A and B are shown apart, each in its own frame.
Chain A
Amino acid sequence: MASFKPTKVQFLPKLGEKVTEDTLYWKNYKSPVQIKEFGAVTKIDFSPLAPHNYAVTASTRIHVYGLHSQEPIRSFTRFRDTAYGGSFRGDGKLLVAGSEEGLIRLFDICGRVALRQFTGHSKAVHVTSFLSDGFRVVSGSDDLTCRVWDVPSAVELSSITEHTDYIRALAPSKLNPDLFVTGSYDHTVKVFDMRSGSSVMTMQHGHPVECVLLYPSEALLVSTGGRYVKIWDLLKGGQELVSLKNHHKTVTCACLSSVGNKLLTGSLDRHVKVYNSSYKVVHNFDCDASILSMAVAPDDEVVAVGMTNGVLSVRHRKHKKDKETLTSRRRRGPSYRVFVKGKNFVPRQDDFLVSKPVKQYLRKYDKQLKSFEVSKALDTALQMWTRTSKPEVTVAVIIELNRRGTLKNALAGRNEESLTKILNFLLKHIFDPRFSRPLLTVGDIVLDLYRQVLHQSPVVERQLQRLMEVLGREAELQQELLQVLGILDTLFASLTPRKEVLWEEHCPMSLNNHCVSVSSVSADVCRI
């Protein structure tokens, strides 16, 4: 006597993205924490020192947040106009920021009042940064000049005017205190050497440059502008290595993760993309608004993204420890001892052993199928949770009912509510190629069964109307696809040299079948 064989649910392999270690790593972030600022967040910079606080420049303020705090631990508000480009010094004790009025201010992290003010720029200063020796500040301004300032004496050391448009990107070298890279709206990226006092390298980006970034080895340079992200090889004299076009709006910011030096780019199209070492996109963060600035904390603990609507979104990394505490709190089952009880009992030699029959665990719909309650089984399979999150289970039950020849019985005698459920399911999944075959039969049977009474319910009628529309659209689409395939076939036939082997994909046939069945059902709907 065999036991009842449960319904086999087919799990078809998912097409599309493959799961790799990179995607797993980047998926492992908690849902973002949103912090509202006063204006668009233009710059985020992490302190290189241990608690890794970060400075957020937005509107006329610079706030400094702790890694896990949602309230600013410090704020610098002495700006008369919009502040730009607040960035830390290498020891994390000083902060420099430019502003709309052309002033550059230098703050002590603990103080409130600016320690120094550098005056000289005639227009807004969007980017400021310390050089790696820590005693000089470099700034780029809308007056087309790049200036280098001495911190102790607060005097201008030099001023270089080589760009022909606003300077909006700046990256000092961490290895050489005399080198820095600027990017400008004149589509160029220039590498300056303070020892010669002029640019030593110029690269044509082709679009207004929004951001430049040096790899830690400083052999590679990243520039973003327009929809493009370009990687340059500095050791080969500024040769272009790759040009990436993964965003569909201007790429505004780029940064590197500290684990494995993965490149992240943010764009006005509200996406943050993560690239692997061969510059393929491996992950994608979605945000609510256009992204202006972005930064990653050391060890990738935090990803902070600033947006045009003034929202700072902070993602924290998940840790195993957190997960464990969560699950242990949730589970309130009996203790381990209860399950172990009696399991390690060793029978003595003369004991008479009575084997306990192993109970077969069946799902609810299987139990109902076992007792031939077909309608109830279909109801169970159409329950909200199953229907939405596991449509394959619902379809498996439908296939099983069809195999038993009782699908018609299961569908018959339903009221408006349960019929709507079925029709909703059809509307949602009838075009999934995995499910379309059984669902088309369901559609056929439903039409056959309820043809007479359909007009009594406006809800069902409306749904059928929609079903007819989408079916018609699908049929049209497939017809077009078939036409395209026909064109391709002729192209291939003329291209391939005379050889007997014919390569062809098997989709035309299946598409054809599918199309025929779709159009037959839509014709059915039309009749009604």
Chain B
Amino acid sequence: MVETSDIRVVRCGGSKVNLTPPIISSDSRFVLCTSGDLVKVYSTRTEEWLHSLQGHTNQVTGITLNPANHLQVYSCSVDGTVKLWDFIDGILIKTFVIGCPLFAIYVSEKHTGVLFLHVSMATDSKNECFQLVSVHLPKSAEQEVEAKEMSAVSSHISKNPSCTAFGRGSVSETCMSMVIFISFFSLCSFSLKATDKKGAKNAFTCIACHPTDDCIATGHEDGKIRLWRNFIHKKEYTYSTQHWHHNAVNTLCFTPEGTHLLSGGIESVLVQWQYGADNRKEFLPRLGGSILHISASSDGQLFCTSHSDNKITVIESSFKVCGVIQGLVKGDAVLTDLMIDPRSKALVLNGKPGHLQFYSLLRDKHLYNLDIVQQEYIYEAGLDQFEVVKAAFDIKGSWLATVEERGKKSSDLEFFLKLWAFDERTQSFVLNTTITAAHTDRIISMCFSSSEETTMLVTAAEDSQFKAWCQGADADTQQDQNFWSCDFVGSYHKLNPTNCSFSADSSLLAVSFQEVITIWSPDTWEMLTTLCQPPGVIRDLCFGRLSCSKYLLGTTTKNLLCCWNLLTCELEWSTSVDVSKLQPDPFSENVAAFSYQSKHTDLFVFKPSEPRPLFTNKNVCSEKVHRAVFVPREEPLNSCDESTQWLNRSQLYFLTQNMDLLTFSTATEEDRMLSSSKQLVIDDSVAVTPFYLLLGKHRQQQQKLNTQSHPVSDKPQQTQGSVTIKELLHTPAHVLPAASVLCSMFVNSFLISNTGETLQEEMDSEKEEEDSEEEMEACDSQQELRAQGSVDEVTPKLSKAQERELKRVRKTDFSWMAGLIDSKP
């Protein structure tokens, strides 16, 4: 097993699912949405992520159902290709290479074989100029086709895909700031203008076409919806205005029958207008973030809204929410640190306004939102809302401390410090204490003590104080409520603290005051020593772990990374690096430092005991990194290569300024992922047939076998079987030979060819080792495995368990098979 020490940066889960309108399959069973480079398929009933369509190499920008075949879907991407998928099985059918970045895709039922695409007009210029082009898809049997036949339909259109709509009779409208172009194919094209220009805010924001009527609905910036009619007769168009939204209408959608119009905006209220009876409307309020897109299924039974908080809501036609698909909410800024919930190992950061979100990185799934602010959220632009700005877990995950804040200016700053206890019964956090005036100014830093026995919280604020909070019952009230109260208030020369950190055994507390680090003993609240390394304000502070716990690391604004030895209270070493984020790994001695220099970020991983870095990665990304976290692995990797060793126990995730969540992955890891995904695809593609039952049983046995003894070396075995199985499954039924011919081959494929000798041996030794072989086997196989790993053997050795299994298969009576074959005509 040759280990390539290649570590590369990978974009991991949590990409946007709300970029484009989601589409619902015609049988209403699946919802498809774009997510980064993938198209994800979700079930509408269970909200589960079923599988994803993998193949694009850049951001997918649009998906649409193939009007000719409702089981196929077109997707377009910035990488310049349009791909046709079978979305139920997740198979790529065709790739059309267009050649330039694509931004949206539309199809029209009247024009089969034609796609409408948004492309950028001027490739170099920065101002966003787009044009709508139609592309004729060439008919060819090849997998990858180049489509060259392009014709421009209209130019100077808005980038927003909701500004383009297709209706009955292939009307296509696109709108830009004040004008609508309506172009009839080969007939005429004319424009509608927003005529009343008194209010300056009536620019178009979205458009929708009635499916059966000659009617266009447009949404405006001031919240009005206009229904335009009669536009075919040249000048004499009429329109009616409806107003409910108080802000811009983000999206409009007609139901497939055209009886209702759906609209949504920043208020996060889905409004259903009855077509014809204009003032009859229904509301569905408080859906989440502001509504970005609405789409309806072809039978009109389901609606989908996608929201700004990276969410898709599935709504029944009776206006009831029946499902929520939630992605990782990243918003404009992550205010809290990236954290790991010690219990669920989920990534925790602030999500939708006033909430903390728990996101499982392993399954790439949103677990739940914890409501911190507990106030009604008002959807209004420019309103100063409460936001969760700080959060911290204690080491066991039984306490959570949060700080919520409102008020940008310090004069009307409001903030609360809240402490949450984990409730075992409900498996969630329950509010324990709210502290209204914890400090007189903004809280800058917050940390829990890391000892197991006593939990203590330390907060440092801009009022030049730090406070220690302890959990303790008040003796006088005689009620054993364990709420939190202030234990100690400390300050140092009226300087503003910048950071606080507990040592690994929480026997020491380090608080940095501008340029000075003070070391305190939390037991007696005595200041032990001060460390000072002028010049520069301390930016980051952390203690070493495990064997390096005697070191304290600090970074300053003057591009200095310093390491102090706490036994001698002297500076051990310092280097000149501009560190933007210092992140210690809680499971090893390693510390990761991200440094930002001349438009790219470098990563250094080092041990505090030695100034030489273990691992350096230049140019990780082009933006500054402010948040990073080490996530413990479920099962540690056992790579012994020096440069990848630091990733054995935990994985480093970091967040760039563009809100991309990135991670490092090693080659071994990717191999493992790839093999598992291959297996999955085959499993999924098998339908439930008698064959499947037979096969599935066999596979399960095999897998069980593998997990028991041979986790790694199952490949040679598998190949032989799977060739036959594949052949059997992927050849069309009418070309297959008769079942009687296949059967023997099929059954043979289950067996391993060179088993003669081993079986013989087995027969002999069987009686002796019947009793006490289990443990021996286990260690035997492990030894074998290790030997294999080192010598890199190719031929597989069968474990005893496998051999016995084989023997059993051999002994089983297959005569029923003959009966089956005979019964066939």
Q: Which residues of A contact B (CB under 8 A)?
A: 1-8, 10, 12, 18-20, 369-370, 400, 403-405, 500-504, 506, 509-510, 513
Shortest A132–chain B CB gap in Å is 41
Complex CA gap A20/B286 in Å reads 46
Complex CA gap A370/B269 in Å reads 14
Asked if B489 is at the interface (CB within 8 A of a chain A CB), the reply is yes
Complex CA gap A403/B387 in Å reads 12
Whether the pair A506, B489 counts as a contact (CB closer than 8 A) is yes
Whether the pair B285, A1 counts as a contact (CB closer than 8 A) is yes
Within 8 Å CB of B490, what residues of A? 501-502
Contact with A along B424-441 (1 / 0, CB 8 A): 000000000010110110
578-597 of chain B: CB within 8 A of chain A: none
Whether the pair A404, B286 counts as a contact (CB closer than 8 A) is no
Whether the pair B477, A18 counts as a contact (CB closer than 8 A) is yes
Shortest B669–chain A CB gap in Å is 39
Whether the pair A18, B476 counts as a contact (CB closer than 8 A) is yes
Whether the pair B286, A3 counts as a contact (CB closer than 8 A) is yes
Complex CA gap A380/B288 in Å reads 29
Whether the pair B527, A10 counts as a contact (CB closer than 8 A) is no
Name the residue of chain B whose CB is nearest to the CB of A372.
Answer: B378
Q: A1-B286, A405-B380 are in contact. Are A506 and B525 (CB under 8 A)?
A: no
Within 8 Å CB of B284, what residues of A? 1
Shortest B147–chain A CB gap in Å is 43
Interface pairs A-B: 4 shortest CB-CB: A5-B376, A509-B440, A1-B321, A18-B476
Whether the pair B436, A12 counts as a contact (CB closer than 8 A) is yes
Within 8 Å CB of A10, what residues of B? 434, 436
Whether the pair A403, B406 counts as a contact (CB closer than 8 A) is yes
Shortest A168–chain B CB gap in Å is 40
Complex CA gap A391/B523 in Å reads 42
Complex CA gap A202/B694 in Å reads 110
Complex CA gap A504/B494 in Å reads 11
Asked if B383 is at the interface (CB within 8 A of a chain A CB), the reply is yes
Shortest B487–chain A CB gap in Å is 13
Within 8 Å CB of A500, what residues of B? 492, 527
Name the residue of chain A whose CB is nearest to the CB of B491.
Answer: A502
Asked if B255 is at the interface (CB within 8 A of a chain A CB), the reply is no
Shortest A495–chain B CB gap in Å is 18
Asked if B238 is at the interface (CB within 8 A of a chain A CB), the reply is no
Whether the pair B465, A506 counts as a contact (CB closer than 8 A) is yes
Shortest A35–chain B CB gap in Å is 39
Within 8 Å CB of B109, what residues of A? none
Within 8 Å CB of A19, what residues of B? 477
Shortest A363–chain B CB gap in Å is 13
Within 8 Å CB of A370, what residues of B? 376
Complex CA gap A1/B377 in Å reads 12
Within 8 Å CB of A509, what residues of B? 440, 463
Within 8 Å CB of A510, what residues of B? 437, 440
Within 8 Å CB of B378, what residues of A? 403-405
Contact with A along B457-487 (1 / 0, CB 8 A): 0000001010000000000111000000000
Within 8 Å CB of B526, what residues of A? 501
Complex CA gap A212/B385 in Å reads 67
Within 8 Å CB of B527, what residues of A? 500-501
5 CB-based A-B contacts, threshold 8 Å = A1-B287, A8-B375, A369-B376, A500-B527, A506-B489
Whether the pair B491, A504 counts as a contact (CB closer than 8 A) is yes
Which single member of A4, A403, A503, A504 contacts B286 (CB below 8 Å)?
A4
Which single member of B286, B384, B386, B439 contacts A405 (CB below 8 Å)?
B384
Q: A3-B286, A10-B436, A509-B440 are in contact. Are A503 and B376 (CB under 8 A)?
A: no
Complex CA gap A8/B463 in Å reads 27
Complex CA gap A5/B376 in Å reads 5
Shortest B138–chain A CB gap in Å is 47
524-556 of chain B: CB within 8 A of chain A: 525-527
Within 8 Å CB of A502, what residues of B? 490-492
Whether the pair B525, A5 counts as a contact (CB closer than 8 A) is no
Asked if B69 is at the interface (CB within 8 A of a chain A CB), the reply is no
Within 8 Å CB of A403, what residues of B? 375, 378, 384-386, 406
Asked if B568 is at the interface (CB within 8 A of a chain A CB), the reply is no
Seed contacts A1-B287, A504-B489; 6 additional CB < 8 Å A-B pairs = A4-B376, A18-B476, A18-B477, A369-B376, A370-B376, A502-B492
Within 8 Å CB of A501, what residues of B? 490, 525-527
Complex CA gap A8/B378 in Å reads 15
Shortest A504–chain B CB gap in Å is 7
347-377 of chain B: CB within 8 A of chain A: 374-376
